[in-house]
Amino acid sequence: MTRIIYFVSAILIGAAAMPASAQINLDMNKITCGDWLGYDPTSQEFVRFWLSGYYNAAQNSNVLDMNRLQRNSAKVATYCRKHKSQSLPTAIKNAAS
């Protein structure tokens, strides 16, 4: 019985030490409006929340205002439908103007 415990422990330790191979690099500045509009709803939400956190942190705010996020997201989506080739950060800046 102790051999099995040692064997399973060795496998688990070895598996935990293996590097993760599923890393994804995503440059938010290269996402275009067309790309973002084509994402599935879950991915769109991820990008919205990530960018909201980024811009809030840039303003030293740690509060997530869901109503403001919804309003701004609707403005950006409307803007993006007309300007699909623009980058998403540019669309966010222009939609806020």
**Cβ neighbours of residue 13 under 8 Å, at least 6 residues apart?**
none
In angstroms, rounded to a whole number, what is the distance separating the alpha carbons of residues 2 and 23? 36
pLDDT in tens, the chain (97 residues): 666 665 556 566 655 555 655 667 778 889 999 999 999 999 999 999 888 888 888 989 888 888 998 999 999 999 999 999 999 999 999 998 7
- Angstrom CA distances, 21 to 26, 32, 45, 59, 93, stand at 15, 27, 24, 34, 35
Structural domains in the chain, sorted by start: 26-96 (1.10.890.10)
Q: Is the pTM of this model over 0.75?
A: no
Lookup: tokens for 39? 């994402």
| Under 8 Å between Cβ of 55 and 63 | no
